[in-house]
Amino acid sequence: MDYTLKESPTLETQMLEVNLGPQHPSTHGVFQMNVTLDGETITRLKPVMGYLHRNHEKLAENMTYLGSMPFTDRLDYICSMTNNFAYALAVEKLANLEVPERAQYIRVIMAELTRLVNHILLVGFLLNDLGAFFTPVLYAFREREKILDLFEAISGSRMMCNYFRFGGVKVDVTSDFIPRVRQIINNFPKFLDELETLLSENEILMARCQNVGILPEELAINAGITGPMLRASGVPYDIRKVDGYSIYNRFKFRVPIGETGDVYDRYYIRILEMRESLKILDQAIKELPDGEFISKAGALGARSPRNFKAPKGDAYGRIEAPKGELGFYLVSDGTIKPYRYHVRSPSFINLTVLEDMCLGQKVADAIIILGSIDIVLGEVDR
Amino acid sequence: MIFGLGVLKGMMVTLKNFVLSYFTKERLTTVQYPEERIPEKERFRNFPFLIYDEKPEDLRCVSCDICAKECPPKCITIVRDSDEQGKPLKRPKVFDIDFSICMNCGICEEVCPFDAIFMDHEFELAEYGRFEDLNYHKDDLLKSNEYFAKIRPQDAARIDAKLREKAKLKETEIRGHNT
């Protein structure tokens, strides 16, 4: 028997306004979406941000340059090492500081390990949003914990590393650093293979993700989207390649791009990027030279941050953070504090296309589209 | 490809993980926390403590106020001690660290020129009160050099050697003056 209506109903229907969040577990923090629904279809979506605003920029303007380094850890609290990296680059550009070779390599290794941590966590939580409740997340956590243990052994803290200093890093790596990184490089591909067997060909995942939340190439470029989201839409733009900051131009790696720019592409591009990160790690650990871990001037600055003055001028340091282009814009007036301090956070800018991707989709899809953007509210609200 | 094969393959992975988690150490990562503990890493940092050499009275801190100035969230309060005539002494009268504000960044340890403040490994510090209970005073913060050598043997050895060198240099200087 056919239960569907033969004719479309002539009933007057009303739009329904729903608040998703800020206390909703799928919003990855305190993020609110005001959604207008026509049945189950989204006709309007308004993001509401600012619940986690902590005045980061103004705090930094009233603090020494090094003083805001631990605060940058708390921007994107999953990848504190890359936040440190971008800030250190900006200040080094401003103050014309040299970074020793060994420190450069340590920095790159840390940044790539952070990329692994971030992407593996994103894949886990995206599956959580899809309804695969906590099995993929816990598999991801198990691997992530090994990297975080390494971070703890080197920097002293699992997540709030505060490891980079201007002109180098805080302390030299421990003696068992190289074998431990090697172990991660050897074991991680096995885990990735297992994860891909679990997920990549799963029919439910494909049905839920493919052709959902498509971000067209043109819109992605116009809206200033960066990182894996942009590359999933088919634009081969990676700041590691374009800018070649630090020593990234020495390593051989490829930039994976997607075809359609849907949620599935955004998921899969992260898997591919992790494999490329492992290649960079492999090359970096082979070439890791001996020497100083911090330059003389840098060590002096770390010892007495109150005497560290940057010359007048401005500088913009940017890196390819796991989420996109993370930039720090600093203006100095020659004193010990920055005159202006601005963060260009990838999560915030990537979030601006949320409405465009969600229009015409179902409510349940809005959750996974948000999950695939990969936001951390600490960075969005700052 | 047959529809549903991907799901079945995925389920095999979960089954493998479930079964193997009983046998292999690699997949059995849970630690039964209060009974079982992961060995602490030497560089692990939590909250700062003040160090003294022999007696708790002669602590290394000379109340120079550098850590209090450099501390990013400003959680350290130092008041310098003075004798009866009001002459300032090289020791703190008040040394408070508000653990509810401290963010474990370790900058105080890095900037201290006298190696008097270090990051501790103690982390079970729950209290009932929000304000006064977490505001640690000088007496709560004091810990011996032996304790420091126990939790961070490498750092302690390095710093002790440095301090001995300094003391020797000072001694020769004084002797040079006398002769």
pLDDT tens digit string along A45-92?
888 888 888 888 888 888 888 888 889 888 888 888 899 999 999 988
| Alpha carbons A54 and A379: distance in angstroms, whole number | 10
pLDDT, position B179: 59
B3 touches chain A (CB under 8 A): yes
Which residues from chain B sit within 8 angstroms of residue A142, using beta carbons?
27, 29
- pLDDT band for position A140 (cuts 50, 70, 90): confident
CA nearest A172 in B: which residue?
B43
**Cβ separation of B104 and A153 shorter than 8 Å?**
no
- Is residue A266 over pLDDT 70? yes
C-alpha Rg value of chain A to the nearest Å? 22
Q: How far is B46 from chain A (nearest CA, A)?
A: 8
Q: Do A198 and B10 touch (CB under 8 A)?
A: yes
pLDDT value, residue A6: 61
B7 CA: distance to closest CA in chain A (Å): 5
The shortest CB-CB distance from B44 to any of A69, A152, A160 is to: A152
Q: Could you say which residues of chain B have pLDDT below 70?
A: 1, 176-179
Inter-chain CB proximity B104 and A157 less than 8 Å: yes
Question: Rounded to whole angstroms, how far apart are CA atoms A318 and A324?
Answer: 10
Inspect the interface and report whether the beta carbons of B44 and A306 lie closer than 8 Å.
no
pLDDT (0 to 100) of residue A49 = 84
Residue pair A199/A205 in contact by the 8 Å Cβ criterion:
yes
Query: How far, in Å, CA of A262 to CA of A168, rounded?
Result: 39
Measured in angstroms, the CA of A201 and the nearest CA of chain B are apart by: 5
Q: Which of A157, A202, A304 sits opposite B111 (nearest CB)?
A: A304
Distance from CA of B176 to the nearest CA of A (A): 31
Peptide bond before residue A22 is cis, with ω within 30 degrees of 0: yes
Give the residue-averaged pLDDT of A138-154: 88
pLDDT at A309: 83
Whether residue A170 has pLDDT greater than 60: yes
Whether the per-residue pLDDT at A2 is higher than 60: the answer is: no
Q: Number of C-alpha atoms within 13 angstroms, CB side, residue B173?
A: 6
- Whether the predicted pLDDT of A110 surpasses 70: yes
- The pLDDT of A29-45, averaged and rounded, is 85
Q: How far apart are CA B134 and CA B140, in angstroms?
A: 11
Instruction: Say how far apart CA A376 and CA A358 lie, in whole Å.
Output: 19
Q: What is the ipTM of this complex?
A: 0.84
Which pTM was predicted?
0.88
Q: What is the predicted pLDDT for the residue at B57?
A: 77
Architecture of domain B48-178: 2-Layer Sandwich (3.30)
Q: What percent of chain A has pLDDT over 90?
A: 5
Which of B3, B42, B119 shows the shortest C-beta gap to A203? Answer: B3
As a whole-number percent, the residues of chain A with pLDDT over 70 amount to 96
Kind of pairing between the strands at A16-20 and B88-98: unpaired
- Closest approach of chain A CAs to the CA of B20, in angstroms? 13
Q: What is the pLDDT of residue B136?
A: 86
- Residue A5: pLDDT over 60: no
The average pLDDT across A302-310 equals 82
Are A202 and B6 an interchain contact pair (Cβ–Cβ within 8 Å)?
Answer: yes
- Residue contact A67–B70, C-beta within 8 A: yes
Average pLDDT along chain A = 86
pLDDT band at A3; cut points 50, 70, 90: low
Length of chain A: 382
Q: Which two tokens stand for residue B42?
A: 């030497």
Residues from chain A contacting residue B29 (CB–CB below 8 Å)? 142, 145
Chain B contact set for A206 (CB, 8 A):
6
In b/e form, how buried is each residue of A312-342, taking b as 16+ CB within 10 angstroms? eeebebbbbbbbbbbbbbbbbeeebbbeebb
Q: For A303-329, what is the mean pLDDT?
A: 87
Closest alpha carbon within chain B to A201:
B6
A359 falls in which pLDDT band (50, 70, 90)? confident
The H or E element that residue A47 is part of is: strand A41-48
Q: Which of A129-138, A232-241, B163-172 has the highest mean pLDDT?
A: A232-241
Domain parsing of chain B, residue ranges: 1-30, 48-178
Query: Are the beta carbons of A338 and A65 closer than 8 angstroms?
Result: yes
pLDDT at B178: 65
Chain B hits for A162, Cβ within 8 Å: 105-107
**Contacts with A64 (C-beta within 8 Å, 6 or more apart), sequence order:** A305, A306, A308, A336, A337, B70
B 120-179 → A contacts, CB under 8 A: none
What are the residues of chain A with a beta carbon less than 8 Å away from any beta carbon of chain B?
63-64, 66-71, 74, 135, 139, 142, 145, 149, 152-157, 160, 162, 170-171, 174, 194, 197-204, 206, 302-306
> Chain B residue with minimal CA distance to A136?
B14
Chain A residues whose CB is inside 8 A of the B41 CB are: 149, 152-153, 156
Is B101 within 8 Å of chain A by CB? no
So what's the pLDDT on residue A329? 92
The beta-carbon neighbor of B9 closest among A142, A197, A302 is A197
